[in-house]
Amino acid sequence: MASVKLEGIGKSYGDQEVVSDLDLEIADGEFVCLVGPSGCGKSTTLRMVAGLEEITRGDVYIGDRRVNLVAPRDRNVAMVFQSYALFPHMTVEANIAFGLKIRKLPEEERRRKIQWSLELMGLESLAGRMPRELSGGERQRVALGRALVLEPEVLLLDEPLSNLDAGLRSDMRTALKKLHLEVQRTILYVTHDQVEAMTLSDRVAVMSRGRLMQVGTPREVYRRPRNLFVATFIGNPSMNTVQVRPRDTKDGIVLDAGDFQLPLGEVPAGLVLPYLNQPVILGMRPEKIQVLEKPADDSLRAFVNVVEPLGAENILDVNVGDTNFKIKVAAGSGIKPGQPIPVRFDRESQHLFDHETGTSLLDSLQRPV
Amino acid sequence: MRSGWRRLELLWKKHSFELWLLAPALLYLLGFLVIIVFHLLVLTFSYTLPLEDQFPSLQNFVDLADSGFFTALWRTLLFVLVGTPLQLLTGLAAALLLQRAFRGRAVVSALAMLPLVIPSLVTAIILNIVFDYPFGHVNDLLTGRFPWFPELLSDPVNWKSTAPAALGVALLGNVWRNLPISMLILLSGLLSISEDYYEAAHTMGATGWQRFKFITLPLLTPAISTVLVLRSIELWKEFIFPFIVAPAYPTLGVLIERIHHGQRNAGLAALVSLLLVGCIAASTFVIQRSTRWLRQRLVGV
């Protein structure tokens, strides 16, 4: 087992920079997800750690060893591909045995390890099957078994669940998390699915356009997004955003959205003052907007456009004036489309972002989450 | 019986459209296979005489021994045994080179098609000129007539006067001309192997040679088998290169022409043709069996 350290790594194809100046440290045994929209450079980053992609700038360390010029086969990493890349001409057992055979392990030890891997992944009864005879989930398990049997210092997973259907994906998610607790490997996991990233990892690294946007625990990136990108990318439905102008009134600072005004929440006034009468972006999580029984002094009047039932919860698509919001409410509230409802914005959960840079105004503050 | 007719009638009603679609293929099979094979069989058992053919007769089988058949068979077998692997290896080498993406790949692939565009007859005649005795280009080169090439021979070689040399040159021409075919088949086989397999094997510790041996080769066996079967059939039947370049050492293809046109013995020519077909069937069977066996061996990692 080993830690992984990426120091200012970058990757360019000709003039095009796909990953720039990325710093990331992954502790020994940690599960880190690289998450971002497609084309953000997350897979390229993973492949640079695997050694399948040349590193243009910066250094990659596995443990204490700088591996920039080390061939993939000597890095002691194992990778699971999105396509699983199971060798189609070999049985499940031969697939798992492949790496061990290449490493010329003695027969006895090889048997033992293959058996361990088959048992770990629940594949004993499938050992003699060919990959084409397996279901998606079974292939996935073979791919994992094939990677783990090599006892890699680092396990790299490239969108391993994206080819599975929704139900299976959630099962495999749980299975992966259990597996990580069991084998305690350092895992770097690439996904475009923020739910996967949030549920699986110890820490999430959010990427956009080749840059690292934020690294933190799932709770940190959700509660304290450092910029507008992370704020809207993490969370489902996405965070509501609206352009507001802070105004200094006799009641203190209010955020003027045109259609309505909100008192400034717990963002320190000192951070907002430089932005007086300037546009800033206000972000509100859908679950931080409450639907009230009846109008109150601090409530706003919203019109319900659409109700999306999710079972335990409903997502409301509402308008306050011309501004569109999503609200998450418990199911069974009896709210119907076309109905006006009183809503209140949770003052404690306001996020404010610089209009130009998208940086959170809170970013300069150190505050416990 | 009546129910049989009834069933046929139903079949016709149900599938008449499909049966009409099959008609051209059936006519083709009838015209070019059944009739020709039938005629060939009749000829085989006909003794060709100046005025009239004698049928049935086994005289052709008696004449076979003195016709030069067995020498020609032996030559052709060598031709196939040396030529087929050679075509596979040169095709594989070319395909592996063209598999990598590089600048100007399109131009190189187009150039690689060139041998196929030149008529074989022209290629064969050019080979004749190049390997001429005593003033051909190859002799000039080897006897040191060009200052930039060392003198390897003191006297020019008569390439056409020994069977190995003459047939070797003919084989060279054949391999060169047909390189694009094997290359294309193998290249499409190579390109159908997902890059992921190589990368997976790479991260699992496989060296370049191991990746070739455990991934490329087993996954390429269908293409390899196709190349071996196609090329061996063509080599068995090969006519134009031995005919032009090695006329003194007839292979089976050339022998059939000799007997048919030179000796005007259609019956004997038919018998030799039939035996050639038999050889092709046998060799194809052996090749397919052995590639299947090879594939299973390779798959076992």
**The pLDDT of residue B300:** 54
Q: Which of A49, A98, A146, A150 to mutate to test the interface with B (most CBs of B within 10 A)?
A: A98
Q: Measure the CA–CA gap between B191 and B253, rounded to whole angstroms.
A: 36
Q: Which of A47, A7, A18 is nearest to A190 (CA)?
A: A47
Q: Which of B103, B192, B198, B203 to mutate to test the interface with A (most CBs of A within 10 A)?
A: B203
Q: How confident is the model at residue A1 (pLDDT cuts 50, 70, 90)?
A: low
B218 → closest Cβ in A72, A89, A102: A89
Q: How confident is the model at residue A369 (pLDDT cuts 50, 70, 90)?
A: very low
Q: How confident is the model at residue A253 (pLDDT cuts 50, 70, 90)?
A: confident
Q: Give chain B positions within 8 Å (CB) of A75.
A: 203
- Distance from the A135 Cα atom to the nearest Cα atom in chain B, whole angstroms: 19
Q: Are A165 and A110 in contact (CB under 8 A)?
A: no
Amino acid at B89: L
B203: contact with A, CB 8 A cutoff: yes
**The pLDDT of residue B187:** 93
Residues of chain B with pLDDT under 70: 1-2, 299-301
For the ranges A46-60, A72-86, A177-191, A257-271, the lowest mean pLDDT is seen at A257-271
Please count the residue pairs, one from chain A and one from chain B, whose beta carbons lie less than 8 angstroms apart.
70
Q: Strands A154-158 and A186-191: what pairing? A: parallel
B192: contact with A, CB 8 A cutoff: no
Q: Measure the CA–CA gap between A19 and A212, rounded to whole angstroms.
A: 9
Q: Hey, are the CB atoms on A52 and B218 less than 8 Å from each other?
A: no
pLDDT digits (tens, 9 = 90+) for A115-166: 999 988 888 899 999 999 998 889 989 999 999 899 898 999 999 888 888 8
**How many Cα neighbours within 13 Å face the side chain of B114?**
6
**The pLDDT of residue A28:** 92
Q: Measure the CA–CA gap between B118 and B126, rounded to whole angstroms.
A: 11
Q: Hey, are the CB atoms on A89 and B199 less than 8 Å from each other?
A: no
Q: Give chain A positions within 8 Å (CB) of B295.
A: 89
Name the average pLDDT for chain A: 89
Q: Kindly report the backbone phi and psi dihedral angles of residue B14, in degrees, each rounded to the nearest multiple of 5, phi listed first.
A: -75, -40
Q: Are A49 and A41 in contact (CB under 8 A)?
A: no
Q: Hey, are the CB atoms on A150 and B204 less than 8 Å from each other?
A: yes
DSSP code for A292 = P
B285 compared with A72, residue with greater pLDDT: B285
**How many Cα neighbours within 13 Å face the side chain of B99?**
20
Q: What percent of chain A has pLDDT over 90?
A: 46
Both structure tokens of B129: 């000129």
Q: The tokens 């993406």 sit on which residue?
A: B101
Q: Hey, are the CB atoms on A102 and B205 less than 8 Å from each other?
A: yes
Q: Which of A48, A70, A73 to mutate to test the interface with B (most CBs of B within 10 A)?
A: A73
A 10 A CB-CB count for B258 gives 19
Residues near A116 by Cβ (< 8 Å), separated by ≥ 6? A149
**The pLDDT of residue B241:** 93
**The pLDDT of residue A46:** 94
pLDDT digits (tens, 9 = 90+) for A208-230: 999 999 999 999 999 889 999 99
pLDDT, average across residues A64-70: 90
Q: Give chain B positions within 8 Å (CB) of A49.
A: none
Q: What is the pTM of this model?
A: 0.80
B298: contact with A, CB 8 A cutoff: yes
Both structure tokens of B173: 């021409």
Q: Give chain A positions within 8 Å (CB) of B301.
A: 90, 94, 97-98, 101
B16: contact with A, CB 8 A cutoff: no
Q: Hey, are the CB atoms on A99 and B197 less than 8 Å from each other?
A: no
Q: Measure the CA–CA gap between A231 and A227, rounded to whole angstroms.
A: 6
Q: Give chain B positions within 8 Å (CB) of A90.
A: 299, 301
